[in-house]
Amino acid sequence: MNRLSRMLTAAAALLLVALYFLPIWKVELQAPQYPEGLGMYIAVSDIRGYGEFDLQKINNLNHYIGMRPIEAASIPELRYMPWILAALIVTGLAVAAIGRRRLLYVWLGVLVLAAIVGLADFYRWGYTYGHDLDDTAIIKVPGMAYQPPLIGSKQLLNFRATSWPASGGLLAAVAFLFAAGAAYAGRTRGPRARVAVAATALAVGACTTATVHPIAYDGTETCEYCRMVITDRRFGAEVMTVSGRAHKFDSIECLASYVAALDDQQRVRSLWVTDYAAPGTLIPAESARFLRVSDGPGSPMGLGLRAFSVAQPGEQGEVLDWADVLVLVANETGSPRRLERTSLLVGVLR
């Protein structure tokens, strides 16, 4: 390894030390009754509230929905994560000292693996807390689960839950970039190295580009199907392709029409529609629940279609799933291909 590589490796390892002092992740809860804010930090060895009594307040509120108390003591990972982190830092510094390229690639791989496992584990905890509810819970909403999003924002009853990396987590991301940079810097111009770099870049790129792009709603974006300016936050839709491109639409109908008209369905990586109950929030189309209403604000393309992540109290209208929507749009708008449910299930849906 050249000097730059070694310095970047050492810097990456040292940056990770920040995780002992700064939280990795944060979950924030917003509701009208809490103008002063409410939230919690997940640190490498502890879970604590934003304010001194925030965690206590959150647990108090959660007793209504039967969620078990969030306590550092009941999460074993918080006891051994500090050791794993120490191992990562020490091995990183050792790699920088030893200077063998192969070791660097291994270390980088372990870092990425640790991050993936960490996020997966966080997801699992979120799932458990959100679904494993006391059956004597005071407030029971049928079908409702309280899993916070892994990353991003979600409406849970009267709270908007936002999950995002905290300052330590962002510094850890910078450490990854340093480590990746170390692997890239002073690389030999051999084909094997290039493949390795390209593979890493692709892996990183694939991870990042899989995330749906936010829609601006400020008049700068137009629907790719009907060319109208996208302004209504309740109806935006999007398709992400395998190459990482985002195509945006002003309505569910336009997305459906676009998808139906695609020659190569394999190019579609993911489909997104807006949760009507949480304007501005995109949810996967294939798992969304659609409502076709005859009154109230109409959808931009006139078929009265709205998407929801969960059933809404007092909702009225015809309930559809994504396959139904594709059929409906194709038949109502006279698309070039006449679609049937069976062909969709095979070809379009994943």
Partner 1 sequence: MNRRHRFILGIGGAVLAGTLAFACSRPGAGNLTAGDAASRVYVAPGSHDEYYAFLSGGFNGQMLVYGLPSGRLLKMISVFSQNPENGWGYNEETKPMLETSHGFVPWDDTHHPALSQTDGIPDGRWLFINGNNTPRIARIDLTTYETTEILEIPNAAGGHASPFTTPSSKYVVSATRFSVPIPNADVPIESYKQNFRGTLSFVTADKPGEMDIAFQIMMPGYNYDLGRAGKAVSDGWFFFSTYNSEQAYTKLEVNASQNDKDFVAAVNYVRAEECIAAGEAEAVPANYRHNVVDPHSRVAVSHQRTSVRVLDPEDCEGVVYLMPTPKSPHGVDVDPTGEYIVAGGKLATVIPVHSFSRMLKAIEDRQFDGDIDDIPILKYEATIAGEVQNPGLGPLHTEFDANGNAYTSMFISSEIVKWKLGSWEVLDRIPVYYSVGHLMIPGGDSRKPWGQYLVAMNKITKDRYLPTGPELAHAAQLIDISGNKMTMLLDFPTLGEPHYAQAIPASLIKENSLRFHRLSDNTHPEAVRTLQGGGIRREGKRVHIRMAAIRSHFAPDNIEGAQVGDTVLFHVTNVEQDWDILHGFAVMGANNSELILGPGETRTIKWVPRTPGVFPFYCTDFCSALHQEMQGYIRVSPAGSNVTLKANLSERSASQVERARNVANAGSLTTGGR
Letters for 29-68 (x = contact with partner 1 by CB under 8 A, - = none) are -------x--------xxxxx--xxxxxx--x---x---x
Give the Cα separation of 70 and 25 in Å (integer).
Answer: 15
Looking at beta carbons only, is 47 or 215 nearer to partner 1? Answer: 47
Kindly state the tokens that stand for 77.
Answer: 């990972």
Taking CB under 8 A as the binding criterion, the range among 132-140, 175-183, 194-202, 232-240 that sits at the site for partner 1 is 132-140
Q: How far is the CB of 134 from partner 1 (least distance, A)?
A: 5
Contact 197, 184 (CB under 8 A): yes
Give the Cα separation of 329 and 226 in Å (integer).
Answer: 14
Give the Cα separation of 322 and 287 in Å (integer).
Answer: 7
Q: How far is the CB of 128 from partner 1 (least distance, A)?
A: 12
Q: How far is the CB of 280 from partner 1 (least distance, A)?
A: 22
Q: Which of 76, 142, 191, 334 binds partner 1 (CB under 8 A)?
A: 76
Four-residue CA torsion sign, 21, 22, 24, 29:
positive
Looking at beta carbons only, is 48 or 233 nearer to partner 1? Answer: 48
CB count within 10 Å of CB 96 equals 23
Kindly state the tokens that stand for 193.
Answer: 């190295």
Residues 185-244 that bind partner 1 (CB under 8 A): none
| Size of residue set near partner 1 by CB under 8 A | 28
- By CB under 8 A, tell whether 140 contacts partner 1: no
Q: How far is the CB of 55 from partner 1 (least distance, A)?
A: 4
Q: How far is the CB of 40 from partner 1 (least distance, A)?
A: 9
Give the Cα separation of 185 and 80 in Å (integer).
Answer: 33
Give the Cα separation of 296 and 59 in Å (integer).
Answer: 38
CB count within 10 Å of CB 21 equals 11
Q: How far is the CB of 117 from partner 1 (least distance, A)?
A: 21
Q: How far is the CB of 83 from partner 1 (least distance, A)?
A: 14
Give the Cα separation of 94 and 90 in Å (integer).
Answer: 6
- By CB under 8 A, tell whether 139 contacts partner 1: yes
Looking at beta carbons only, is 79 or 337 nearer to partner 1? Answer: 79
Give the Cα separation of 154 and 28 in Å (integer).
Answer: 11
Give the Cα separation of 283 and 309 in Å (integer).
Answer: 7
Looking at beta carbons only, is 83 or 296 nearer to partner 1? Answer: 83
- Neighbour order of strands in the sheet with 152-156: 47-49, 39-42, 25-30, 159-165, 152-156
Q: How far is the CB of 106 from partner 1 (least distance, A)?
A: 32
CA atoms within 13 A on the CB side of 177: 8
Of 238, 315, 234, 318, the closest CA to residue 276 belongs to: 234
Looking at beta carbons only, is 65 or 327 nearer to partner 1? Answer: 65
Residues 284-343 that bind partner 1 (CB under 8 A): none
Q: How far is the CB of 116 from partner 1 (least distance, A)?
A: 26
- By CB under 8 A, tell whether 138 contacts partner 1: yes
Looking at beta carbons only, is 32 or 334 nearer to partner 1? Answer: 32
Looking at beta carbons only, is 36 or 295 nearer to partner 1? Answer: 36
Give the Cα separation of 282 and 166 in Å (integer).
Answer: 22
Looking at beta carbons only, is 135 or 218 nearer to partner 1? Answer: 135
Residues in touch with partner 1 (CB under 8 A): 36, 45-49, 52-57, 60, 64, 68-69, 71-74, 76, 78-79, 134-136, 138-139
